Structure 1
Amino acid sequence: MKYSQAKVRRQSNPAADKRARSTGAVIARTGFADRSHSWLGHHREVAADSVRRFFATPMASVMTALVIAIALALPAALQLGLLNFQRAVAGWDGQPQISVFLHKEATDTAVSALAERLRSDSAIAEVTYVSPEDALAEFEQASGLGDVLVGLGANPLPAVLLLRPRDAKNGEKLQQLVESLRAQALTDSVVLDLAWVQRLAQLTELGQRFSAGLALLLALGVVLVVINTIRLHIESRREEILVVKLVGGTNAFVRRPFLYSGICYGLFGGFLAWVLLASGVAMLSGPIEALSSSYGSSFELSSPGARYLLQLSLGASLLGLLGAWLAVARHTHEIEPR
């Protein structure tokens, strides 16, 4: 009876019936803000889940991160050693110096005239006069042989003029200047201290190139370690990947958790590398300071600070991301529902 009455009302009011049918299904459209919020929310969820999975197997995770840390700590330690070496020789300006040893019979007036004449030379930037007494005092302080020198009676060291050439890069002009200095009447001998500067520059360049090559080689090792680790993760979650793809999950959706896992391995590996580096510096600081103080130097070993921590963590995270991306691109395409 009620059904018949309702049918009669619908027949008598076709407009109301049309409105009722039109409200039966509504097409929902998702805005850009909603999609962005969902995308960011999924990233947060996947990142947190990756961290939980990392600590869920602490032994395996720490071992992998430690392998990454050792690979990163080796070139980082070499680079830090080069920086400390450059700090140690910072007092040397790297410019060649010409030492003009004068005859012991040269008078003070003649030496002063020669020094003034050299200062007016356009090829010479600076002239420093070192008297025999100053040279002897400096030698006693540097060598610690003061008691032996006292027994000599007379001062065996001559007066010296230390010259800084203006154009230190032109070897031909330097050699011409040395020849002109040797021709001076008051000159006993001339020494061009250029070899040690060249050796120091070559040694520094060699260390930098070796450090860069070692860093590239070990960075490749880090990427391979992450690739192998993520490959094992993919195999262990094969069924989960199949289910996600069956319900329409995209490749980006499948790839995202493994990328965050690679970042986690790299991030913790970079932190452990910084810990290893800081521990090594702490162990060596005492002996190095004692050695430098024995030579009358106040040199202190520079320790890796927050900048080193940031560089290692960021670099290791990028390497972990790269390794995870390569592993996912290679292995997830092989897992397809049939």
Structure 2
Amino acid sequence: MPADPWPLPNPGPSSGSFDLVAPDEGLGAGTGISRQVQGDVPVSDAERSPRTKRAPKEMPSRFRCSICGTCIASSEGFVEARDDSFVFRSLQPGGGEAAGRVVCRECDQALGFRSDGLFFLRKDTVEQRAEKLEVLVCSLKLQEISDVSPVLADIFPYSSVQERLLQKAELRGFASLPGKPDFVVVVHRNEGRALLTDRNGFYHDVLGCAYRQTRGNVLVVLTRAEPKAEADLFDKVMLRSLSTSGDQPTIGVLSGLGQVLSWGTAPSATQLQQILALMTRAYFREPGQASVGIPASWTKMSKSGSTWCALL
């Protein structure tokens, strides 16, 4: 990697650790929970398996659209920096090329041009970012947060994982997440009838807020709900019931996008790879996925026509 632009920061020997910070509110209010979980937390057999693919401890830096934040290119394809442009041999999915012009696939901003097989991005249209993936784990149960957070940090070490302990009284009309997370995970312990989304869902407004803020990079995890088949991402019978007869169509849409997982006590190898894929997509801020069935209140159109630009 050339000296210009700057290299990735070295996470150092503690890169496997992450911060868990519970605010003095919600269930457990006043406890002031604040802790750092190291890499020696208990892991499942699937997590321990050498066959389980993980993200590298250091990730490529990203070159993002200056308007909407979509990742256009990364340091993996970087060639050199010139006076007014960065030169790349390849682009990320967020960068599009037509008739020699390079544009952002999300907001259509003109970024540069292609010549002799190389992509030239003007320095005033992209910004280089090398921060870790910001992850937020939310739940009504502290134990569920404690169980899921180490899984995320283990599968994607170049991340900073924080927690938000929710309170039932604040869920209706929930409108603000702490910080600026790139990826939000909502964990629900299945204890009978699961009220997740739509009119009677506990997490509908939380997920809507997270969906808008992260451009759709959300994940719902149901614990104590083992899939019937080892290769399944979730309990298909349960999700079908919730989305059809349970008056929760939105959870069905999310499951169809691969953004719902369910397990008994720990994720399977298949589920871990799905988590890795979702976190990688969030890290590179790939263009948002439009999907029929996502509530209109979860998205917002900007003047430029992009679903997400006004939110960043």
- Higher percent of residues as strand: 2
Greater C-alpha radius of gyration: 1
Q: Which has the higher contact order (CA 8 A, sep 6+)?
A: 1
- Higher percent of residues as helix: 1
Shorter-chain TM-score tier: under 0.3
Q: TM-score, normalised by structure 1?
A: 0.20
Q: TM-score, normalised by structure 2?
A: 0.21
